[in-house]
Amino acid sequence: MPSSEIELNPVDFITVGTVGPKGQRVFHLQAGKEDMIVTLIIEKEQARALSEAIHELIDDLSSRYPDRTSSGLRDPNLELRDPLEPLFRVSQMGLGYDEDRDLIVLVAQELMSSSDEDDDDDDDAAGEEQPPEPEDTEPGIVRLWCNRAQMRALSDQAMSIVQSGRPDPRQNGRLVYYWT
């Protein structure tokens, strides 16, 4: 499968949302520009960390560049949009800043699955050692360029979604026994 590299520069909207009941929610990071929508699957803790990192970055930018103001939200609707077809599951994310354009970039990298372990067992059983297949696939990369207002709204939305879950996420849908 060839790697994908997508850049939305700048996005019209960006949001975080979930699908499913509490305890079984799937977190999605979604952004769009014109008629293109990119949806990625993230973990709850990635949503929390992203929210905190954006908040810290924007606070730092506000103190370093107090005279710059953001043009605001292009689309204030923070709901997930259809079609909800995830491109990939995110392994890691990073934030960057373009000082000339006063835009923040969110870079998400695809989580690559490991090679099929079951195939190794079959090869050993046949008695023939197969040469390893070349690693020609690179992880997918998505770059989402946003203004400060969009990123602040994303940070607030992500934290709100994370906090709307179960009061004690350590329970994770498990039965907890109490003895007195």
pLDDT at residue number 179: 58
Taking only the tens place, the pLDDT of each residue in 72-131 is 777 788 999 998 999 999 999 999 999 999 999 999 999 998 654 444 445 454 555 655
Nearest residue to 78 (alpha-carbon basis) of 7, 129, 16, 122: 16
Indicate the range of 24-28, 65-69, 84-88, 158-162 predicted with least confidence.
Answer: 65-69
Give residue 152's Cα distance to chain centre. Answer: 15
Distance CA(14)–CA(151), nearest Å, equals 8
Q: Is the C-alpha dihedral spanning 137, 88, 151, 25 positive or negative? A: negative
Nearest residue to 28 (alpha-carbon basis) of 61, 50, 54: 50
Tokens of 60: 């730092």
Output the average pLDDT for the chain.
84
Fold of 5-113+137-167: Secreted effector protein pipB2 fold (3.30.2450)
pLDDT at residue number 1: 43
Strands 5-8 and 141-146: parallel
16: left (phi over 0), alpha (psi -120 to 50) or beta: beta
pLDDT at residue number 68: 77
Distance CA(159)–CA(136), nearest Å, equals 37
pLDDT at residue number 165: 77
pLDDT greater than 60 at residue 156: yes
Taking only the tens place, the pLDDT of each residue in 38-66 is 999 999 999 999 999 999 999 999 999 88
- HSE at residue 116, side-chain half, CA atoms within 13 A, is 7
* pTM listed for this prediction: 0.79
